[in-house]
C-alpha cells in the first residue's frame, strides 16, 4: 500500500488523461543496495485518479445559535456530500442523509434519547439537501447534533454541533407526583393530624421541565372548602389559617404540615389544601390543590383510613386485571388488522399478476410460489442470453450536467430503421450532449478539442408536433407508411430534452418503406411545398435537394456499421417476466405475513383459555370493592344531611401519572373495574373520582355540628 506523505488536493487533469479531477501524475523511483553498490531500478509513473462516486466529506452549512428554548425551530440547514474529486455528489438520495439529535447529559448512555430527522427533499439535481422546520426536543438538556450519510457502501458523518436546550417560561408549580392524603382528624395524636410529611414542588414549563432556577417567591398554603356555604375550615398547627413557604431556585419544600389539635371543621367533609404561588417577577401561575377528608371522630377516622387503604389495594389489583385483559384485546385487534392488510395485499398482487397474463389460481399456499419463481427465473435467463443490438462505443463518464453521447440516449426497435437512421446520423452518434455551454466548453478544453460536444441551452427548440406534409395539404394518399424519423426513437432519459436534441440533428426527416414510395411521395409533396429528406427502410436516401443514388446515398448492411448503431430497447417479454418475478416475491411476502399472524392469533387464543380463573378472581374483587364502597358510604352518611351524602374518594391507581399518560383504550370485550363508578370530576388537572352512597334503609338523622374546645 502506497500513501502520499502530504495530501494533494484534487484538481483538473493536466495531461487530459481522465475526465474528472485527479491528484496528478507521480513518479516512483526504486533503488537496491548490494553491499556498497547502489543499483537504480526502473522509474514507475503513477497517475492518482479520484473516484467521483466515493464520498469523503459531509459539509454542513449551519448558521444557527448554540442555545435554544424547548420546541424552538432550528434554522434551515443545507448539507452536501463531497466526492473524492472535490466535486459535489449529485447521486446522493434524500433517504441516505439524516440528522440526529442525541441528549448527552443523561445516564446511563444506553438510555440516551436520539431524535432522527430526514431532509425535506427526496432527490436533488445539484446534490444539496435542506433540513427545514426541525424542532429541538421538548426535554431540556445538552444535545449533540450531527449529520450522517450512508448509502450502504460508504458511511460518513459531519462534525458534532453542540446545542443547549433550555426550559421555557414556567406555567405551573407542582410536584412530580401527586401526594396522597386519605384523611386527617383533629385528635391529639400527631400522626392523625398530619397533612404532609414532605412535599417538593417545582416550577415547570408546559413540557414538564424544571425551569426558572433563578426565580424566587412565596408559596401560600390554605385549607378551603369546595362548598362555599361551609364556613368551618380546619386551621394549621399554631392555629393559623395560612402557612407560607419560600420559593427559592425554582422550587418550594413543605415539611411536617399538620392541622391544629381540636380545630373546627365539618365531620366527614372534604376539604382542599390549596397551594398559591406568588413569584417576585409577578408571573401569574395557577393554584395547585390536593383534596383530603376531615374527621373530628378518632374511631371513624381510623376506620375510614382502613377502608380507604383496602379500597386502594383492590383498585390496584383490578387495574392489573384490566391491563391484562386490555393488552390481550389489543393483541387480537392488531393481529386481525395484520391479517386483513395481508389479505388486501395478496388480492392486489394476484390482480396485478392477472393483468400481465400470469394465472395465479394454482398458487393456493406459500410453497406453490417457489416452483413458479423458478420457471420465471429460467425464462428471464433465456431472454437475457438472447443477443440484443447495442451501441458499442464506450459511454462518456457520468458527470453532473452531462446527458451522454447521442448514440446512448435513444433506442430504435426495428433493425432496418435503426440501420438507416444510424447511417444517416453517423457523424452525430458520438456527440456528447451537455446541459450548459460552460460544461460543453469544459469538455472541449479537457479533450483538446477532440470530442464533439453540443449544449442543450444553445439549441433552438423546434415545433415537433407538426403533421406530415400530405396531412397538412390532404391532396393525395401516399404509400409506404410515411412517418417522421423522430417518432422512431425511444429516449432512455429526459425525453423532452432528448427530443429537442434529436430534432436539431434530424429535422423533419421522413421514413418510408421503399425507394419507390419515397420518390412518389416527393413528387406529390413538391407540388405544394418543399420536401424534407426521405429515408427508405431498404437503405436509400433522397436528400432534401432531391438527390439520390450512388453509394453516398445508400446505407450499408447493419453488420458493416461495426456497432455504431442505435441499440434495441429491452424486450417486452423480459419486462413482463421481471414484473412477474417481483410480484411473485411480494405475493410470497404477503402470504407469509398472513400465515405468521394467523399462527400468532391461534397461540393467543389458546392462552386466553386460561383466563377463566382470572376472570373469576376479577369478579370476586369487584364484589369486594362494591362492599368496601358501601361500607365507606354508610360510614360517611351516618349523621350527615341529605345534601352531604357524596363522598369523594381519590382513585389512586387510575389517576397515577403512568395511567394518565396512556392513550384512551378502545372498547374491550372485558368488563370495567366497577360498574358503579360514576363520572370523574376534574380537580387540579387530575381526575378525582367520587362515589354516591346507596340510599340508606332509614332516613338520615339530622347532623349536629360540634366543635371540640
Position 570 pLDDT exceeds 80: no
> Helices 572-608 and 298-355: crossing angle, nearest 10°?
150
Q: Give the span between the Cα atoms of 141 and 106, in whole angstroms.
A: 8
CB atoms within 10 A of CB 512: 25
* Cis amide bond preceding 434, omega within 30: no
pLDDT value at residue 709? 32
83 touches 9 (CB < 8 A):
no
Q: Give the span between the Cα atoms of 293 and 647, in whole angstroms.
A: 9
Q: Which of 39-43, 157-161, 184-188, 691-695 is modeled with the greatest confidence?
A: 157-161
Pairwise pLDDT comparison (296 vs 130), residue with the higher score:
130
| Beta-carbon-side half-sphere exposure of residue 153 (alpha carbons within 13 Å) | 5
Reply yes or no on domain 402-570 having CATH 3.30.70.1620: yes
Which residues are bridge partners to 573 per DSSP? none
Fold equal for 56-166 and 402-570 = no
Dump pLDDT digits (tens) for 168-209.
888 888 887 778 766 888 888 888 888 888 999 999 988 888
CB atoms within 10 A of CB 395: 12
**412-433 average pLDDT score:** 92
Q: What is the CATH number of domain 172-296?
A: 2.60.40.2550
Dump pLDDT digits (tens) for 49-99.
788 888 999 999 998 899 999 989 999 999 999 998 888 888 899 889 999
| Beta-carbon-side half-sphere exposure of residue 102 (alpha carbons within 13 Å) | 14
**239-256 average pLDDT score:** 91
pLDDT value at residue 404? 92
pLDDT value at residue 491? 92
Cell for 529? Answer: 411545398
Q: Give the span between the Cα atoms of 516 and 377, in whole angstroms.
A: 47
Q: Give the span between the Cα atoms of 48 and 112, in whole angstroms.
A: 44
pLDDT value at residue 637? 65
Dump pLDDT digits (tens) for 632-678.
777 766 544 433 333 344 443 333 333 433 344 443 433 444 333 33
Phi and psi at 628, nearest 5°, equal -65, -40
pLDDT value at residue 517? 93
Instruction: Quickly list H helices, 507-610.
Output: 515-525, 572-608
* Of 133, 140, 54, 122, the residue nearest 89 (C-alpha): 54
**281-303 average pLDDT score:** 81
**Which contiguous run of DSSP H or E holds residue 163?**
strand 161-166
Q: Give the span between the Cα atoms of 222 and 243, in whole angstroms.
A: 7
Sequential DSSP letters for 531-556: ---EEETTSBEE-TTS---SGGGB--
Task: Provide the residue ranges of all domains of the chain, joining segments of one domain with +.
Answer: 1-50, 56-166, 172-296, 402-570
Burial of 315 (0-12, 13-18, 19+ CB in 10 A): buried
Beta strands in 348-482 (DSSP E): 402-405, 410-412, 432-434, 453-455
What contacts 50, CB < 8 A, 6 or more positions away? Answer: 10, 20, 21, 22, 23, 83, 84, 85, 86
578 touches 358 (CB < 8 A):
no
Sequential DSSP letters for 653-697: TTTSHHHHTSPPPPPPSS--S-TT----EEETTEEE-EEPPPPPS
Q: Give the span between the Cα atoms of 119 and 130, in whole angstroms.
A: 6
Mapping DSSP to helix (H, G, I), strand (E, B) and coil, where does residue 585 land? helix
* Of 677, 425, 442, 649, the residue nearest 541 (C-alpha): 425
Pairwise pLDDT comparison (458 vs 380), residue with the higher score:
458
Pairwise pLDDT comparison (225 vs 329), residue with the higher score:
225
pLDDT value at residue 660? 39
Whole-angstrom CA distances from 327 to 460, 665, 670 are: 69, 10, 11
Sequential DSSP letters for 11-57: B--TTS--SS-EEEEEEEEEEEEETTEEEEEEEEEEEEE--TT-EEE
The confidence band for 304, taking pLDDT boundaries of 50, 70 and 90, is confident
Burial of 670 (0-12, 13-18, 19+ CB in 10 A): middle
Q: Which of 44-53, 92-101, 108-117 is modeled with the greatest confidence?
A: 92-101
- The DSSP symbol for 649 reads -
Q: Give the span between the Cα atoms of 606 and 600, in whole angstroms.
A: 10
Q: Give the span between the Cα atoms of 168 and 138, in whole angstroms.
A: 9
Phi and psi at 540, nearest 5°, equal -85, 160
pLDDT value at residue 687? 37
**454-482 average pLDDT score:** 88
92 touches 121 (CB < 8 A):
no
Cell for 146? Answer: 450531527
Cell for 546? Answer: 432531391
The confidence band for 695, taking pLDDT boundaries of 50, 70 and 90, is very low
Q: Give the span between the Cα atoms of 130 and 422, in whole angstroms.
A: 44
Mapping DSSP to helix (H, G, I), strand (E, B) and coil, where does residue 579 land? helix
Q: Give the span between the Cα atoms of 436 and 441, in whole angstroms.
A: 9
- The DSSP symbol for 170 reads -
**What is the homologous superfamily of the domain 56-166 according to CATH?**
Macroglobulin (MG2) domain (2.60.40.1930)
Q: Give the span between the Cα atoms of 573 and 561, in whole angstroms.
A: 27
pLDDT value at residue 220? 94
Which residues are bridge partners to 3 per DSSP? none
Sign of the CA dihedral running 204, 206, 212, 213: positive
Q: Give the span between the Cα atoms of 162 and 67, in whole angstroms.
A: 9
Grid cell 400470469 is found at 358
Mapping DSSP to helix (H, G, I), strand (E, B) and coil, where does residue 528 land? coil
> Helices 572-608 and 369-385: crossing angle, nearest 10°?
160
- The DSSP symbol for 73 reads B
286 touches 222 (CB < 8 A):
no
**146-161 average pLDDT score:** 92
Position 20 pLDDT exceeds 80: no
Dump pLDDT digits (tens) for 526-557.
989 899 999 999 999 999 999 999 988 999 98
Amino acid at each position: 500500500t502506497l500513501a502520499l506523505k502530504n495530501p494533494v488536493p484534487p484538481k483538473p487533469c493536466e495531461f487530459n488523461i481522465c475526465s474528472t479531477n485527479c491528484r496528478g501524475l507521480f513518479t516512483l523511483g526504486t533503488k537496491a543496495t548490494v553491499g556498497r553498490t547502489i543499483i537504480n531500478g526502473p522509474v514507475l509513473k503513477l497517475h492518482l485518479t479520484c473516484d467521483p462516486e466515493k464520498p469523503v466529506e459531509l459539509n454542513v452549512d449551519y448558521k444557527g445559535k448554540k442555545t435554544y428554548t424547548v420546541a424552538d425551530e432550528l434554522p434551515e440547514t443545507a448539507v452536501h456530500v463531497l466526492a473524492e474529486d472535490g466535486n459535489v455528489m449529485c447521486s446522493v438520495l434524500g433517504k441516505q442523509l439524516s440528522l440526529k439529535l442525541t441528549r448527552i447529559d443523561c445516564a446511563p448512555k444506553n438510555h440516551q434519547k436520539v431524535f432522527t430527522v430526514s431532509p425535506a427533499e427526496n432527490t436533488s439535481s445539484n446534490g444539496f439537501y435542506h433540513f427545514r422546520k426541525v424542532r429541538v426536543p421538548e426535554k431540556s438538556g445538552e444535545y449533540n447534533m450531527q449529520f450522517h450519510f450512508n448509502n450502504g457502501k460508504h458511511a460518513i458523518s459531519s462534525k458534532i454541533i453542540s446545542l443547549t436546550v433550555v426550559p421555557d417560561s414556567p406555567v405551573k408549580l407542582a410536584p412530580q407526583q401527586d401526594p396522597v392524603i386519605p384523611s386527617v382528624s383533629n385528635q391529639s395524636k400527631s400522626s392523625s393530624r398530619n397533612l404532609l410529611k414532605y412535599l417538593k414542588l417545582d416550577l415547570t414549563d408546559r413540557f414538564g421541565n424544571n425551569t426558572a432556577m433563578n426565580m424566587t417567591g412565596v408559596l401560600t398554603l390554605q385549607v378551603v372548602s369546595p362548598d362555599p356555604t361551609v364556613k368551618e375550615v380546619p386551621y394549621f398547627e399554631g392555629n393559623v389559617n395560612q402557612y407560607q413557604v419560600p420559593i427559592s431556585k425554582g422550587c418550594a419544600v413543605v415539611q411536617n404540615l399538620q392541622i391544629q389539635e381540636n380545630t373546627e371543621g365539618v365531620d366527614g367533609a372534604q376539604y382542599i389544601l390549596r397551594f398559591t404561588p406568588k413569584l417576585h417577577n409577578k408571573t401569574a401561575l395557577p393554584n395547585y390543590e390536593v383534596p383530603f377528608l376531615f374527621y373530628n371522630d378518632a374511631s371513624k377516622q381510623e376506620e375510614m383510613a382502613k377502608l380507604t387503604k383496602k379500597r386502594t389495594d383492590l383498585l390496584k389489583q383490578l387495574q392489573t386485571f384490566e391491563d391484562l385483559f386490555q393488552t390481550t384485546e389489543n393483541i387480537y385487534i392488531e393481529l386481525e388488522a395484520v391479517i386483513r392488510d395481508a389479505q388486501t395485499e395478496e388480492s392486489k398482487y394476484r390482480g396485478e399478476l392477472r393483468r400481465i397474463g400470469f394465472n395465479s389460481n394454482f398458487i393456493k399456499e406459500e410453497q406453490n410460489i417457489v416452483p413458479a419463481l423458478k420457471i420465471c427465473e429460467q425464462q428471464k435467463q433465456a431472454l437475457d442470453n438472447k443477443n440484443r443490438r447495442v451501441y458499442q462505443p464506450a459511454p462518456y463518464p457520468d458527470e453532473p450536467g452531462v446527458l451522454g453521447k447521442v448514440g446512448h440516449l435513444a433506442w430504435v426497435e426495428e433493425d432496418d430503421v435503426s440501420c438507416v437512421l444510424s447511417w444517416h446520423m453517423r457523424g452525430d452518434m458520438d456527440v456528447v450532449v451537455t446541459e450548459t455551454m460552460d460544461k460543453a466548453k469544459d469538455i472541449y478544453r479537457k479533450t483538446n478539442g477532440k470530442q464533439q460536444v453540443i449544449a442543450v441551452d444553445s439549441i433552438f427548440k423546434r415545433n415537433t408536433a407538426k403533421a406530415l406534409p400530405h396531412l397538412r395539404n390532404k391532396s393525395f394518399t401516399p404509400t409506404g407508411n410515411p412517418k417522421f424519423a423522430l417518432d422512431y426513437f425511444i429516449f432512455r432519459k429526459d425525453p423532452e430534452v432528448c427530443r429537442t436534441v434529436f430534432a436539431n440533428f434530424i429535422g423533419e426527416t421522413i421514413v418510408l418503406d421503399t425507394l419507390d414510395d419515397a420518390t412518389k411521395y416527393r413528387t406529390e409533396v413538391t407540388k405544394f411545398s418543399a420536401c424534407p429528406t426521405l429515408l427508405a427502410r431498404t437503405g436509400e436516401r433522397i436528400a432534401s435537394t432531391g438527390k439520390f443514388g450512388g453509394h453516398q446515398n445508400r446505407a450499408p448492411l447493419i453488420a458493416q456499421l461495426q456497432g455504431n448503431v442505435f441499440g434495441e430497447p429491452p424486450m417486452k417479454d423480459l419486462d413482463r417476466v421481471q414484473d412477474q418475478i417481483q410480484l411473485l416475491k411480494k405475493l410470497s411476502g404477503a402470504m407469509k405475513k398472513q400465515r405468521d399472524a394467523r399462527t400468532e392469533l391461534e397461540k393467543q387464543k389458546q392462552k386466553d383459555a386460561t383466563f377463566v380463573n382470572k376472570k373469576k378472581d376479577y369478579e370476586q374483587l369487584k364484589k369486594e370493592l362494591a362492599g368496601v364502597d358501601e361500607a365507606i358510604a354508610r360510614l360517611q352518611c351516618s349523621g350527615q344531611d341529605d345534601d352531604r351524602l357524596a363522598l369523594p374518594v381519590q382513585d389512586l391507581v387510575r389517576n397515577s401519572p403512568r395511567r394518565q399518560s396512556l392513550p384512551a383504550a378502545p372498547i374491550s370485550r372485558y368488563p370495567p373495574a366497577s360498574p358503579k363508578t360514576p363520572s370523574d370530576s376534574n380537580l387540579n388537572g387530575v381526575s378525582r373520582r367520587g362515589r354516591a352512597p346507596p340510599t340508606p334503609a332509614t332516613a338520615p338523622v339530622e347532623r349536629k355540628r360540634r366543635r371540640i374546645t
